[in-house]
Amino acid sequence: MLIKKPDDIVPSEITDKKTYLNRRQFLQEAGLYAAAGAGSLLLPVSAQAAVTHNKNGLYKDIATGPYATNEKLTSYKDITSYNNFYEFGTQKQAPKFMAEKFVTKPWSITVEGECDKSGVYNLEDFLKPADLEERIYRLRCVEAWSMVIPWIGFPLHTMLKKFQPNSKAKYVLFETLHDPKQMPGQKRAVLDWPYVEGLRIDEAMHPLTIMAVGLYGEQLPNQNGAPLRLMAPWKYGFKNIKSIVKIHFTEKMPVSSWMKSASSEYGFYANVNPNVDHPRWSQARERRIGEDGFFSKKRKTLMFNGYGEQVASLYNGMDLSKNF
């Protein structure tokens, strides 16, 4: 469900520039394209509408792709200065400053559970262009507010298939780094750390589910979940776990951090659904950061955040008012 708490209320009450330039050359030669999600409609856009913010010039020539949208991108400044990342503080502006010295290299991921290739893997193992299908994704993201973000990432399934999950792998659990020395927010009992989230295996394997490693043509900023974060754009923002260090395949549904904190308010699926209110507020409307002023009329929230054509079939026969 939707996180929409005032900043002062707690819930209980990748790669260096040289490597990126080499990858850019490969990706251009391979015909890299941008993928995007919808606000109200999934509409094609011209190649000129691809990434426009490139402080270091990376990815500037990449064309758009099959999920492109004509929606205006949220500014780089807003994307990187208005964040929910409680490991670095509960106020929206805190992560930008508190995560400035966060160390993301080297970075490893532990893989365990119902798979044939468990172990500890270096992040660089998944950033080799020849293995990735890497793309730009212009995706809408919704919490109490929304943004349109040009993520740099790759389909999650290209990573998960390498671990060869077996027939018992019904769910995938993800875990954020637990390091209170670097993440001062973890010194407070805001949540039961480390942060944990999960997806059903078919959700995880869906082509719209990505692992993001950058945005606006640049490496992923620390405050946005560096060096690796999940992005399932039809779900509320808290599902999109950041700074991932563990992937666990399991037969049982994981209990996520927000489920553990307030199970009556935050369910496992967390699909964007304007027809199901949070127990303490409506979720029928949202505010677009950088476009909708505080006193302006909010815009209508879209079912599955506008991705219904792509993902609604995942939930055929389910009562989404109960499976929230």
pLDDT at 141: 72
pLDDT grade, residue 261 (50/70/90)?
A: very high
Structure confidence by residue, pLDDT tens digits, 149-160 = 888 778 899 899
pLDDT grade, residue 231 (50/70/90)?
A: very high
pLDDT at 136: 59
CA nearest neighbour of 145 among 276, 13, 236: 236
Structure confidence by residue, pLDDT tens digits, 80-122 = 999 999 999 999 999 999 999 999 999 999 999 999 999 999 9
Structure confidence by residue, pLDDT tens digits, 160-190 = 999 999 999 999 999 999 999 999 999 999 9
Mean pLDDT computed over 57-76: 66
- What average pLDDT is seen over the chain? 80
In the chain, where the domains are located: 17-315
d(CA 60, CA 89): 33
pLDDT grade, residue 77 (50/70/90)?
A: very high
CA distances from 288 to 38, 205, 219, 285 (A): 14, 29, 24, 10
CA nearest neighbour of 69 among 39, 96, 91, 90: 39
pLDDT at 71: 86
Cβ count within 10 A of residue 282: 13
pLDDT grade, residue 143 (50/70/90)?
A: low
Q: Are strands 218-219 and 210-215 parallel, antiparallel or unpaired?
A: antiparallel
Residue 22 pLDDT > 50, yes or no?
no
In CATH, 17-315 is 3.40.50.620? no
DSSP string, 223-248: GGTTT-EEE-TTBBGGGS--SEEEEE
| Beta-sheet strands, E only, within the chain | 33-36, 63-64, 108-113, 119-122, 135-142, 145-155, 171-176, 196-200, 210-215, 218-219, 229-231, 244-250, 285-288, 299-300
pLDDT at 250: 98
Structure confidence by residue, pLDDT tens digits, 294-303 = 788 889 999 9
